[in-house]
Amino acid sequence: MPQPFMNTPPKPEKLGAMTAGFLQEAFAGESQASQKYLAFAARAADEGLPNVARLFEAVAYAESTHARNHLSVLGGIGDSSENLKAAFGGETFEIDQMYPAYDAVAELQGAKEARTSIRYAKSAEQDHQALYEATRTTVQTGEDMVAETINVCPICGHTVIGDAPGECPVCGTAGQFFRAF
């Protein structure tokens, strides 16, 4: 019997500057489509349309495969030590540069809900920055991090290693609603 054909995602290659620029934009577009469809799936489920919710979830996953393919061609996937460094750098930029600047604009314009959304994100990025930094140190010695549950607040994204707190220290959501990984 012939073996089924196992395909592999597109591979990294040396890119012309224009191709690299547009592939970055395509990665951004696919990433945003995927997140939109996940939010739309939750809305469809709330409206009692579980099959439409499933369609949105499946298509969100398809967009994730496209985002991964573009990222792969762009050479954006390293080994875990490099990936942790890239993740740490991204979180640091959001904490030091992006969210403070965005919050200043939202404050100036009196956008209360936008400020809440920004505050939740910035607070969680600080958790992530610390977790990535600690983990990278472990990986550089060739070891995995310790096996422990990780809990995430479904409202603000607050992230903790180990048990969920009684209530979220950032937004007050009860610990029972946290999603455990």
Partner 1 sequence: MGIDPADKKLPQPEDLDPMTDEVLHRAFAGESQAAEKYLVFAEQAEEEGFPNIGRLFRAISFAETRHARNHLRVMRGIDSTAGNLLVAFEGESFEIDEMYPAYRQIARTQKNHQAVRSTSYAMKAEVDHKSMYADARERALAGRDIDDLPVSVCLICGHTVIGDVPDKCPVCAAAKEQYRTFT
Window 28-47: residues binding partner 1 (CB under 8 A): 28-40, 42-47
Return the number of the residue (7 or 166) whose C-beta is nearest partner 1.
7
Closest CA to 87 of 154, 14, 136: 136
Any contact of residue 11 with partner 1 (CB under 8 A)? yes
Both structure tokens of 92: 């640091």
Residue window 138-157: x/- pattern of binding to partner 1, with contact defined by CB under 8 A? -x----xxxxx-xxxxxxxx
Instruction: Decide if 7 contacts 69 (C-beta within 8 A).
Output: no
Residue window 83-122: x/- pattern of binding to partner 1, with contact defined by CB under 8 A? xx-xx--x---x---xx-xx--xx--x-xxxx-xxx-xx-
Question: Shortest Cβ distance from residue 163 to partner 1 (Å)?
Answer: 14
Burial label for 145, CB within 10 Å (0-12, 13-18, 19+), is middle
Instruction: Decide if 100 contacts 107 (C-beta within 8 A).
Output: no
Question: Shortest Cβ distance from residue 174 to partner 1 (Å)?
Answer: 10
